[in-house]
Amino acid sequence: MPHADPETEKDAEIDVAALLADPAEQHDNVHDVDPNVVMLPDEDDDEEPAEGDAAGAPPAGQPLFATCKRTFDAVHDSGPRPVSGITHIVIHSTEGATAAGGASWFTSPDSKGSAHLVVDDAECFRTLDDEIIPFGAPGVNTNGFHIEHAGFAKWSRRKWMRHEQTLKRGAFKAAFHAKKFDVPMVLLTADDLKRGKSGFVTHATASEAFTPGGHTDPGDGFPLDHYMRLVQQFAEQMDDA
């Protein structure tokens, strides 16, 4: 799925059946978490932000610009690809509370999924190299760079905003890689995907476009408007650096 010519992309309807026939595109990330990893308890949606939460000082952890840790290597992938073909940044939620929990689960043969990065309020883990096709979301595996955000698709917008550092960490990494791969920093709809447009997409939108009835992450409450503003702000800061 190469970058579409802006003058003709409205006519670039893709053959969905042919796309999904590619073996690399048949793998989905089921977002299970390792039952042997102790997860933090989910918080009450009505709970007020605590000191040190998104409303206050950020939690201790890696700087946003720090290189992601290589503690865990995902065991599922569909082999190499040219990074010149990366045309999408794909946004997921882990359905777990920590990046370490999600990243460690990808090391298990039972995980059935993988992504390139996993982030939370304090850490980022890289589990696949850029040049490797993940088991992420059918239709955007071969050409997608996949980022998992610790959290749950059931979360409200308010809950996600309590994890501002997760959003910032994911947005910073997304902006960096969008610039690296020349991916437009625009949020796509399912129709955009079917027309072959490049940009940012959620797992839910990829499912709507290519595998209806599939995934809903990162959920309706994920603050995509805020996230994309962060992406743009980080990209501008990188341009000025």
- Grade residue 14 by pLDDT with cuts at 50, 70 and 90: confident
Distance CA 227, CA 107 (A): 28
Residue 104: give its domain's CATH number: 3.40.80.10
Per-residue pLDDT for 6 more than 60? no
Report whether 159 contacts 222 (CB < 8 A). Answer: no
Burial class of residue 213 in the structure, from the number of CB atoms within 10 Å of its CB (0-12 exposed, 13-18 middle, 19+ buried): exposed
Domain total in the chain? 1
- Grade residue 108 by pLDDT with cuts at 50, 70 and 90: very high
Note whether residue 156 is domain-resident: yes
- List CB contacts of 35: < 8 A, sequence separation 6 or more: none
- Average pLDDT value over all residues in the chain: 87
Mean pLDDT of 172-186: 98
- Grade residue 203 by pLDDT with cuts at 50, 70 and 90: very high
219-230 burial code (b ≥16 CB/10 A, e <16): bebbbbebbbeb
In this structure, which amino acid lies at residue 220? D
Note whether residue 103 is domain-resident: yes
Note whether residue 35 is domain-resident: no
Note whether residue 227 is domain-resident: yes
Distance CA 32, CA 106 (A): 9
Portion of the chain with pLDDT greater than 90, in percent: 77
- Grade residue 15 by pLDDT with cuts at 50, 70 and 90: confident
Residue 50's pLDDT is what?
A: 39
Note whether residue 228 is domain-resident: yes
Note whether residue 215 is domain-resident: yes
Which three-class secondary structure state does DSSP give residue 102? helix
- Which domain covers residue 182, as residue numbers? 68-240
Distance CA 216, CA 4 (A): 27
pTM for the model stands at 0.87
Note whether residue 216 is domain-resident: yes
58-62, 146-150, 152-156 — which is least confidently predicted?
A: 58-62
Nearest to 172, CA basis, from 58, 61, 53, 64? 64
Report whether 115 contacts 74 (CB < 8 A). Answer: yes
Note whether residue 75 is domain-resident: yes
Per-residue pLDDT for 125 more than 50? yes
Residue 40's pLDDT is what?
A: 44
